[in-house]
Amino acid sequence: MAPAKNMQELADSELASLEQVRSSLSKLWLISALVIGLVLIAQSLSGHYGEDPEPAWKWFLGSVMPTVGVIVGALCYTALDARRLKYVVRRSFLRLCYALSIVYLLLVVLTIAIEPFVAADSFELMRISKYWLAPVQTLVASVIGVLFFKAAPPESSLT
């Protein structure tokens, strides 16, 4: 099969509306951040982190908020640009974005959830979690950055 010369040659089933994709990924990230944040609030108020929950909050904010900030910033920046309603994205890229986002968010949740089952205390576990979170966060930042800041109309100069 010859490679597609422009986006129009791709079957409609292979494309998704960029705005719908951004909206659904935004919901995934915002709801996940809210739920994880609520868990940390409950743990902080119950004394789970002792008298100073600051390290837990630094970990959470550094793990989730950069991506949430990029997403919200991009949504604000493009909110009044009606031209973007015509933009599309390949579903294969959409699946990659979802897969990486879900894997990353699950790793964040698992870092909190496994604490009772490991020898390290909460803060030590959060400190060493950078070894498994950072590589995936880098990949997530790459795909989210492309999805939220790089866009091309479906029939523009892609020919």
**pLDDT by residue, tens only, the chain of 159 residues:** 445 556 555 566 788 888 889 999 999 999 999 999 999 999 999 999 999 999 999 999 999 999 999 999 988 887 777 776 778 889 999 999 999 999 999 999 999 999 989 988 999 999 999 999 999 999 999 999 988 887 555 554 444
Q: Is 107 within a domain?
A: yes
Q: Is 8 within a domain?
A: no
Q: Is 2 within a domain?
A: no
Q: Is 104 within a domain?
A: yes
Q: Is 3 within a domain?
A: no
Number of domains in the chain: 1
Per the structure, the complete domain to which residue 142 belongs is given by 16-44+52-149
Rounded to the nearest 5°, which phi and psi values hold at 39? -60, -45
Cβ atoms of residues 56 and 43 within 8 Å: yes
Q: Is 118 within a domain?
A: yes
Q: Is 65 within a domain?
A: yes
**How deeply is 80 buried, as exposed, middle or buried, from its count of CB atoms within 10 A (0-12, 13-18, 19+)?**
exposed
Q: Helical H runs in the chain?
A: 18-45, 54-78, 91-113, 122-128, 130-149
